[in-house]
Amino acid sequence: MSTPAPLAPVAPHERIEAMDVLRGFALLGILLMNIEGMVGPLLGAMTGIDPALSGADRWADALVYVFVQGKFYPLFSLLFGMGFAVMMQRAEAAGRPFLGIYLRRILALLAIGLAHALLVWSGDVLVSYALLAFPLMLLFRRTPVDRLPAWGIAFILAPSLFFLLMGGMVSLAMMSPGGSAEMEKAMAAQGAEMAAVLEAQRQAFGAGTWAEGVAQRGEDLVHMLGYLAFFGWQILGLFLLGAWFVRSGAMARPGEFPILYAQLRKVGWPVGLAMVLVSCLIAPSTDFSRSDLPATAAMGLFNVGGTLMALGYLALIQRGLQSAAAASRLRWLAPAGRMALTNYLLQSLVCTWIFSGWGLGFAGQLPRAWQLPFVLVFFLLQVLLSQAWLARFRIGPMEWLWRSATYLRWPPLRR
């Protein structure tokens, strides 16, 4: 009886090119989204279009809010689900158990994420991904491929439906004089609490020491885990949808799914954009002292619309890769995507060093309009560095550490 081949990392010739290109594209969007919270307090980047801005700064803020924010973390979540499905398929093909290897993978990611969230950047997503990978692994690894979209869509819609229900209840309560007074008092307290958090972040990250920043990041991590109880459903749904794209063959063989990709490009993306624009008309800026129906409806439209736009971006990238002229340009992003974990962490390290009080101290000094060219130049350097690194090494340094913890052996690094 032959012994099954040991499960090993994906070889370069086995990679799905579209996933690497998408990761590179998503890295650019993530930095465009995160830079506002790195320059100023993190919570300030979650307030929609800043009403205090004007001129070019306001236009830049609006463009990022409409086309980037809430669109690229869904894209990264889809990619995480795709990676899960790729590992599971390879384990099955090799006749090797999957659970042990994937458990080590997510525990290693959790350790990296905790270090990132506590020591570097409060806006970390790795901890959330690692925690939500547990239900993905335990509950959905054997789900038939044709059922994954239904589960995914249901989970994606769950937070928006919950907040709509909550907003309706708040609006009903405010119709009575007694209820209105109580709700206004509760909402004012909530707004004051969020304002205090914003000011604490401004002081800790903009003017505080590194130790004070670590303490604040610890508080931010606790708040993030609380939010995960509500928004984690959406991320898990995106994982499942991403897993479907791989297990169905839609990522590796896009030519077999022309109707799907055409609908995502021509219907999904425009409808998503329309939902985001309607959300902006209802509530262009987030008011933490409001939880009534219009405010929660705007939030729901923004979340669902952002997911549709993320799927549209995915479809546009796939379409581009099927065109010789566009593919040559898009493939330029692939090296950065192959080093996505390294580049994501590098973005946080460099930007927090530039803008934090314990670093160069430029907090709040880069105007909103200038943040966009800063990101483009920084990302261009990341792409060039990734290309230079991969010319000499097989994978990025953090990917190498992550794989070592996953497979319990040191994979070769140099070419």
Q: Is the pLDDT of residue 39 over 80?
A: yes
DSSP state of 266: I
> pTM for the complete prediction?
0.93
Q: Which pLDDT score is estimated for 11?
A: 55
Query: Tokens in use for 26?
Result: 């998503």
Write the pLDDT tens digit of every residue in 284-315.
988 777 788 888 999 999 999 999 999 999 99
The Cβ of residue 328 has, within 10 Å, a number of other Cβ atoms equal to 11
Mind listing the pLDDT tens digit for each residue in 341-382?
999 999 999 999 999 988 999 998 999 999 999 999 999 999
Structural domain spans, the chain: 12-407
Which residues are paired to 48 by β-bridges? 285
Structure-block tokens of residue 14: 């086995």
- Average pLDDT (183-198) is 81
Closest CA to 27 of 300, 325, 341: 341
pLDDT given for residue 12 in this prediction = 55
Model confidence at 9: pLDDT above 70: no
Say what the pLDDT of residue 185 is: 79
Burial class of residue 93, CB neighbours in 10 A (0-12, 13-18, 19+): exposed
**What are residue 393's phi and psi, to 5 degrees?**
-125, 160
Task: Report whether pLDDT(2) > 70.
Answer: no
